[in-house]
Amino acid sequence: MRRVLSIATLYPNAVQPRFGTFVARQLKALAARDDWDVTVVNPIGVPPVAWGRYRNLAEAAATGVEGGVTVHRPRFALLPKWGGPINPRMIARSVLPLARRLHALQPFDLVDAQFFYPDGPAAARIGAALRLPLSIKARGADIQFWGGKAYALRKMRRAAEQAAGLLAVSEALAADMARLALPKDKITVHYTGLDRALFRPLHREESRARLAREFGVPADGPLLATVGALIPRKGQRLVIRALASIPEARLALVGTGPDQAALETLVRECGVNGRVHFLGSLDHRVLPVVLSAADAMVLPSASEGLANAWVEALACGCPLVITEAGGARELVTRPEAGRIVAREVGPIARAVRELLASPPSREVVAASAERFSWEANAAALAAYYEGLLGPPSS
């Protein structure tokens, strides 16, 4: 059995149980195999004086075994809003002593970063110190946001040059990486996974009834869902404005974030009070109920890699209305899967009306996601790692 040390700032913890769940699912699926042992270091950034949510995060910096994966959570010194340039160094400074101890007890074969910045440059320092090969995965915002900052891009390019291999969650993201002069010949596309037992079409009327009973979402009329953090990049404001021109429909917003107060104000300004329902952060087991109840999942993101929410919606038989972002065209490959539209209110509303007027078969929609599973994701990841290391010595 080979051993990987994975550095992941995106990872669930006791305070943020929905944060980076897709990273945890990927690594748990890899650990469930019999050929790779997985150790995760999930650095928790805490300011020198912890206040508000940082006080709770400091308490979440705990080590444990979660889903068959040992997770270590050392703290690193964080300067909110100003720490971007130094975060990789601060993470490496915190993690390296732990990594040395773990490597001395039972050597690792590979160091892996689950997000390109700040994880990638931090993991590069650790990989160099332990003299181990390095892999870095890009997921979307790390390339589109951090790649636009000169100081971050310099560090990302140095880490990429050191890396034995790079991963991208879609062909579109791989092309974006190449445009940033990250070495194209090192990039492998690694699609996300899916819990196929959980994300599947549920009985629609029963799902609507449960939403009415547990969340107060009336069961009458068409229902749209938007799943994602409440931040401007995800485009909930556009969905609310589009809803104003679809008077018979309701909207279920799943997620939390700093944009919530502004969105609540916009709901009142657009006169859609009573038709927009803020469901907050939901347990993953409840999300298929929302997606099975919905007539469409509308997510007009400004940027994505290949959103897990897209795949999960399709698997539940819920067609998409999304923008030309990331790997959208790698997923919406047939009309039944939904529509790719301009990031504007009019085109969003028209696409929703089309799907409401002529709803596609839920079984055909679900078939669009049939190639995704966490087992396939883990098998592809194991094969990629083996390719970096070569055959094990006898």
237-262, pLDDT tens digit by residue? 999 999 999 999 999 999 999 999 99
**Element spanning 147, H or E:** none
pLDDT of residue 183: 98
pLDDT of residue 51: 78
Residue 394 pLDDT exceeds 60: no
Residue 219 pLDDT exceeds 80: yes
Q: What are the percentages of helix, strand and coil residues in the chain, rounded to 5?
A: 45, 15, 40
pLDDT of residue 309: 95
pLDDT of residue 346: 97
pLDDT of residue 87: 97
pLDDT of residue 58: 84
Percentage of the chain exceeding pLDDT 90: 90
Percentage of the chain exceeding pLDDT 70: 99
pLDDT of residue 48: 85
pLDDT of residue 17: 87
User: Could you name the CATH architecture of 2-193+373-389?
Assistant: 3-Layer(aba) Sandwich (3.40)
Residue 152 pLDDT exceeds 80: yes
Q: What's the whole-number mean pLDDT along residues 193-218? A: 96
Label the pairing between strands 165-168 and 134-138: parallel
Per-chain mean pLDDT for the chain: 95
Query: Which residues fall within 8 angstroms of residue 236, CB to CB, at 6 or more apart?
Result: 226, 228, 230, 253, 259, 263
CA torsion through residues 6, 10, 14, 15, sign:
positive
pLDDT of residue 52: 75
pLDDT range class, residue 18, cuts 50, 70, 90: confident
Of 12-16, 32-36, 152-156, which range is least confident?
12-16
pLDDT of residue 390: 87
307-334 residue pLDDT tens: 999 999 999 999 999 999 999 999 999 9
Angstrom distance (rounded) from CA 301 to CA 285 = 24
Longest CA–CA span in the chain (Å) reads 70
pLDDT of residue 333: 93
Q: Where do the domains of the chain lie? A: 2-193+373-389, 204-367
Q: How far is CA 168 from the centre of its chain?
A: 12
119-130 and 150-162 helices, crossing angle to 10°: 40
The residue with tokens 């995760």 is 40
pLDDT of residue 182: 98
DSSP string for residues in 320-352 = EEEES-TTHHHH--SGGGEEEE-SSHHHHHHHH
The residue with tokens 């579109």 is 172
> Do 204-367 and 2-193+373-389 have the same topology in CATH?
yes
CA neighbours within 13 Å on the CB side: how many for 146? 25
CATH code at 204-367: 3.40.50.2000
Residue 60 pLDDT exceeds 90: no
pLDDT range class, residue 102, cuts 50, 70, 90: very high
Angstrom distance (rounded) from CA 297 to CA 308 = 12
Q: What's the whole-number mean pLDDT along residues 380-387? A: 97
